[in-house]
Amino acid sequence: MDDVILRVKNICKYYPGVKALEDVSFEVRRGETHAICGENGAGKSTFIKILTGAIEPTAGTIEFEGKEYSRLTPKQSMDLGISVIYQEFSLIPYLTVTENIFYGREIKKGLIRDMSAMEMQARELCKDMGVNIDVRKRVCDLGIAYQQIVEILKAVSRNAEFIIMDEPTAPLTVRETQVFFNIIKRLKEEHVTIIFISHRLEEVFEICDRVSVFCDGRYVVTKDVQEIDRRGLITYMVGRELSDDYPTPRREIGEDILKVRGLTNKNVKDISFHLRKGEILGFGGLVGAGRTELVRAIYGADPILSGEITFRGEAYRPRDPGAALQAGIGLIPEDRKRQGAVLSLPISENVVYSILKRIAPMGVIHSKDEKEYVDKYIGELNIKTPSPGQLVKNLSGGNQQKVVLAKAMATNCDILIFDEPTRGIDVGAKQEIYALMCQLAEAGKSIIMISSEMPELIGMSDRIYVMSNGEIAGELLSEDYSQIKILEIASSKL
């Protein structure tokens, strides 16, 4: 039997003014874990959508299990046993974990759903995968990391023979990622074929057998992971050599600009810390530690029950995010699609969304001012787009994140909060964002950064606070940084 399960031949996908994929041909072997790497906009997501029948290729053919197709419909793809875990969740938020896992193939007693049987099977699946989740809990009440784990459980439960994973570990921290790796190992033992897409290149080398590289919509090369190193892979991805180093700090750190004392709400307890002018202050911790909840309170998105905040020497208590922005505090949220950008609007409207009063003082937008802001940030952030009128939903994940950054930067805030700033972003774009953060700090802006990527947290932060169970469990200066120490502190109050 042919050991190749998938061959794509000369696949192309064109949109008006854009070549998303151009003459892509390569193959995937049965039972292997095959990585696809490339910068944002390289065509990876478009390729996945073609395999799953979400979009139709402009040209080319797909050969699966020896049978050739000019295109696949979503039903054909599912019938062939192709399952996909997208970077964006496909869960139904107000259904339980069990209901999501069995959605569309419920176990029934006659005409009635057998919830007891489904919950028992869901618990067994969680046990097999080494996951501890309450299967009766609604998905909307879970954190992002656990929602991603439910996506994985849903795919595994279908006994799929070919699973596509698009940034499956992007929202996961070290502990959840290890659970995911255990799932991958189990699937490999059962000879399941996996296409694995990740910007975390260390994962590619840890769990994948081969890697194919896309660049600007074209297939570049396929290599055994044992035949290539990280620097060589990055060079194929970006077409040039790229340093692994974080920017060297050249900033002068000044006096305290923000002081928080005893901040408490339903998610965090007695939080006290200080942020200095020109500082990049990191917040580490495990999923559920309360990091996002803390910055949401500071940004006015969640109410504060007690405590004091001083900003620029004056009392500060935001009633909503608009008040925080007006005061000079901006947030780049963890979930860019639901909280950061308006996907149905063009880039131009997103960039100026938070400064409409400035460019439309009489209710009418000054088009010259709008164009000046939009062109400035498209250029500074290197947003890849055919025009400022492109809808944000049509951009790659990395370019969507840059639009969110542009919207926050346009407000000219003194404090910028970056919640998982490089989640789902390729290595080239990461370095651009790191350089931008350092430039902002050097210009006197203060930055609060939440990151679940330990090297990023250590490499970018001037100081680090570690949170655990809604509290600050410790503070580390740069000379004390280590991954082990951060993890020990993060687990101290569990």
- Averaged pLDDT, 222-232: 91
Measure Cα distances from 154 to 5, 33, 470 in Å. Answer: 23, 19, 30
Q: Are residues 40 and 135 in the same domain?
A: yes
Q: Write down the pLDDT at residue 494.
A: 57
pLDDT in tens, 122-170: 999 888 777 788 999 999 888 766 887 888 888 888 777 899 998 887 6
CA distance 371 to 373: 6
Q: Are residues 339 and 477 in the same domain?
A: yes
Q: Are residues 215 and 261 in the same domain?
A: no
Residue 242: is its pLDDT beyond 60?
no
- Averaged pLDDT, 326-349: 84
C-alpha radius of gyration, the chain, whole number: 23
Q: Using the 8-state DSSP alphabet, how is residue 179 labeled?
A: H
For 327, the 3-state DSSP assignment is helix
CB 71 within 8 A of CB 57: yes
What spatial distance separates the first Cα and last Cα of the chain, rounded to whole Å?
A: 51
Q: Quick one: pLDDT band at residue 171, thresholds 50, 70, 90?
A: low
Task: Tell me if 281 is assigned to some domain.
Answer: yes
What does the block give as tokens for 117? 């049987």
CA distance 80 to 119: 27
What does the block give as tokens for 206? 């840890």
pLDDT in tens, 467-476: 998 999 999 9
User: b or e along 423-456 (b: 16 or more beta carbons within 10 Å of the residue's beta carbon)?
Assistant: bbbbbbbbbbbbebbbebbeeebbbbbbbbbbeb
Q: What is the CATH number of the domain that holds 27?
A: 3.40.50.300
- Averaged pLDDT, 224-250: 78
Q: Are residues 387 and 417 in the same domain?
A: yes
Q: Are residues 9 and 155 in the same domain?
A: yes
CA distance 419 to 332: 6
**Which residues have a Cβ under 8 Å from the Cβ of 356 and sit 6 or more positions away?**
365
Q: Are residues 212 and 261 in the same domain?
A: no
Average predicted confidence (pLDDT) for the chain: 87
Task: Tell me if 245 is assigned to some domain.
Answer: no
pLDDT in tens, 99-109: 999 998 898 98
Looking at the structure of the chain, the number of domains it has is 2
Residue 305: is its pLDDT beyond 60?
yes
Could you give the angle at which helices 174-189 and 144-157 cross, rounded to 10 degrees? 10
**Higher-confidence residue: 262 or 492?**
262
Task: Tell me if 459 is assigned to some domain.
Answer: yes
pTM here? Answer: 0.62
pLDDT in tens, 46-94: 999 999 999 999 999 999 999 999 999 999 998 898 988 876 667 888 9
Q: Which domain holds residue 31?
A: 4-238
Task: Tell me if 477 is assigned to some domain.
Answer: yes
Of 238, 272, 306, the one marking the end of a domain is 238
Q: Using the 8-state DSSP alphabet, how is residue 246 labeled?
A: P
Measure Cα distances from 304 to 46, 262, 432 in Å. Answer: 43, 10, 35
Task: Tell me if 249 is assigned to some domain.
Answer: no
Environment class of residue 69 by beta-carbon count within 10 Å: exposed (0-12), middle (13-18) or buried (19+)? middle
Q: Are residues 226 and 273 in the same domain?
A: no
Q: Write down the pLDDT at residue 307.
A: 95
Q: Write down the pLDDT at residue 1.
A: 42
Q: Are residues 183 and 268 in the same domain?
A: no
Q: Are residues 132 and 220 in the same domain?
A: yes
**Torsion angle of C-alpha atoms 146, 149, 155, 158, degrees rounded to 10:** -80
> Among 111-115, 175-179, 211-215, which is the least confidently predicted range?
175-179
Measure Cα distances from 81 to 36, 121, 156 in Å. Answer: 20, 21, 11
Task: Tell me if 209 is assigned to some domain.
Answer: yes
pLDDT in tens, 351-401: 888 777 777 777 777 788 888 888 888 888 888 888 888 898 888 777 888
**DSSP labels for 266-325?**
SS--SEEEEEETT-EEEEE--TTSSHHHHHHHHTTSS---EEEEEETTEE---SSHHHHH
Of 208, 238, 268, the one marking the end of a domain is 238
Task: Tell me if 146 is assigned to some domain.
Answer: yes
Q: Are residues 221 and 291 in the same domain?
A: no
Residue 228: is its pLDDT beyond 50?
yes
Q: Write down the pLDDT at residue 315.
A: 95
CA distance 414 to 278: 9
Torsion-angle region of 353 (φ positive above 0: left; ψ -120 to 50: alpha; else: beta): alpha
Q: Write down the pLDDT at residue 155.
A: 81
Task: Tell me if 244 is assigned to some domain.
Answer: no
For 163, the 3-state DSSP assignment is strand
Residue type, 403: V
Q: Are residues 282 and 155 in the same domain?
A: no
Give the residue from 258, 300, 261 showing the smallest Cα distance to 278: 258
Residue type, 124: E
Give the residue from 172, 207, 173 showing the smallest Cα distance to 187: 207
Q: Quick one: pLDDT band at residue 193, thresholds 50, 70, 90?
A: very high
CA distance 208 to 148: 20
**Higher-confidence residue: 256 or 249?**
256
Strands 280-284 and 271-276 come out as unpaired
**Which residues have a Cβ under 8 Å from the Cβ of 266 and sit 6 or more positions away?**
305
Of 238, 267, 288, the one marking the end of a domain is 238
Q: Are residues 286 and 196 in the same domain?
A: no
Q: Length of the chain, please?
A: 494
Q: Which residues pair with 212 in a beta bridge?
A: 36, 222
